[in-house]
């Protein structure tokens, strides 16, 4: 979630800020402006309605949820099954499995952010990365600074009416003007227009995707239910006794 990024950078201290701000969207299925489906006059009226409507509240990941979908790395032409589950404020993403070319899990578990990559093309090291002092509340505080892009329709079956948000991290943090800046990470988040806690798609781009040659990865949900899921800390991530 956002916390996906921790597994792919040599700078975990910088990543702690990134992680709170990078979950995201969908590839070719695409999101289109709601106004682009009918006549020009109707489209103009729809745009005017959207401009006049208040900005919705930003995304907020719930304490309990479960969903299934796909994890997509387009430049590698790899798509694997994906699950995302939460229970009592802990949460876990799992992409792929032992039979797939990509297999990793990311967790927020008892106040620590964990990432374990079991398989990735060209990867020979498989440590469990940890960033202590990171919670669901930290993640949602990061979402509070998201910028509202607009109301859109994801052309899938079924179609999803969503609110599109963008989050990002730029370093160094300097005032407006002619200063050198580095776009460290960007994320596009698409949540249900009637429930900001229902996440349908996410795109993340930046240094947290260091394993991927094009630095971007996609999350596309097919289901998202508001009932407790299952969160399991891998044995490799548990401290030695």
Q: Is 240 a residue whose pLDDT tops 70?
A: yes
Distance CA 70, CA 52 (A): 35
The Cα–Cα gap between 151 and 51 comes to: 10
Write the DSSP string, 137-167: HHHHHHHTTPEEEEEEEE-SSS-EEEEEEEE
* Average pLDDT for the chain: 81
Query: Considering only CA atoms, which of 68, 85, 76, 69 is closest in space to residue 26?
Result: 69
Is the per-residue pLDDT at 45 higher than 70? no
How confident is the model over 181-210, as a mean pLDDT?
87
- Torsion angle of the four alpha carbons 96, 120, 167, 185, in this order, in degrees rounded to the nearest 10: 180
The DSSP output letter for 52 is H
Architecture of 2-176+184-216 per CATH? Clam (2.50)
| Better pLDDT: 238 or 84 | 84
Q: What's the pLDDT score for residue 241?
A: 64
Residue 182 is predicted with a pLDDT of 77
Average pLDDT, stretch 171-178? 86
Give the pLDDT confidence score for residue 6 in this predicted structure. 39
Bond prior to 147 in cis (omega within 30° of 0): no
Contact at 8 Å (CB) between 222 and 28?
Answer: no
The answer to whether the beta carbons of residues 110 and 90 sit under 8 Å apart is: yes
So what's the pLDDT on residue 44? 60
Tell me the pLDDT tens digit for each residue of 214-238: 668 889 999 999 999 999 999 999 8
Single pTM value for the model: 0.79
- Decide if 151 contacts 35 (C-beta within 8 A): no
Contact 9, 117 (CB under 8 A): no
Residue 237, phi then psi, degrees to nearest 5: -95, -10
Per-residue confidence (pLDDT) for residue 170, from 0 to 100: 80
Residue 65: pLDDT band with limits 50, 70, 90 = very high
Dihedrals φ, ψ of 128, to 5°? -95, 115
Lowest mean pLDDT among 23-27, 36-40, 127-131: 23-27
Q: Given pLDDT bands bounded at 50, 70 and 90, which one contains residue 35?
A: very low
């Amino acid at each position: 979630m956002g916390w996906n990024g921790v597994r792919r950078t040599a700078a975990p201290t910088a990543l702690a800020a990134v992680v709170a701000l990078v979950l995201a969207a969908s590839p070719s299925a695409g999101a289109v402006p709601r106004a682009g489906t009918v006549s020009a006059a109707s489209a103009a009226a729809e745009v005017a309605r959207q401009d006049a409507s208040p900005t919705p509240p930003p995304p907020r990941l719930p304490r309990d949820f479960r969903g299934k979908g796909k994890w997509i790395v387009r430049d590698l032409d790899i798509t694997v099954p994906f699950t995302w589950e939460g229970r009592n404020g802990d949460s876990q993403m799992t992409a792929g499995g032992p039979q797939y070319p990509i297999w990793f899990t990311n967790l927020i578990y008892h106040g620590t952010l964990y990432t374990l990559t079991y398989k990735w093309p060209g990867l020979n090291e498989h440590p469990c990365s940890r960033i202590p002092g990171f919670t669901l509340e930290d993640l949602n505080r990061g979402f509070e600074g998201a910028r509202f892009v607009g109301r859109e329709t994801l052309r899938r079956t079924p179609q999803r009416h969503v609110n599109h948000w963008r989050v990002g991290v730029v370093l160094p943090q300097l005032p407006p003007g002619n200063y050198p800046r580095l776009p460290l990470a960007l994320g596009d988040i698409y949540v249900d227009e009637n429930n900001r806690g229902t996440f349908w798609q996410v795109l993340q781009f930046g240094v947290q995707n260091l394993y991927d040659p094009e630095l971007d990865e996609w999350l596309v949900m097919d289901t998202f239910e508001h009932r407790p899921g299952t969160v399991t800390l891998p044995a490799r991530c548990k401290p030695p006794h």
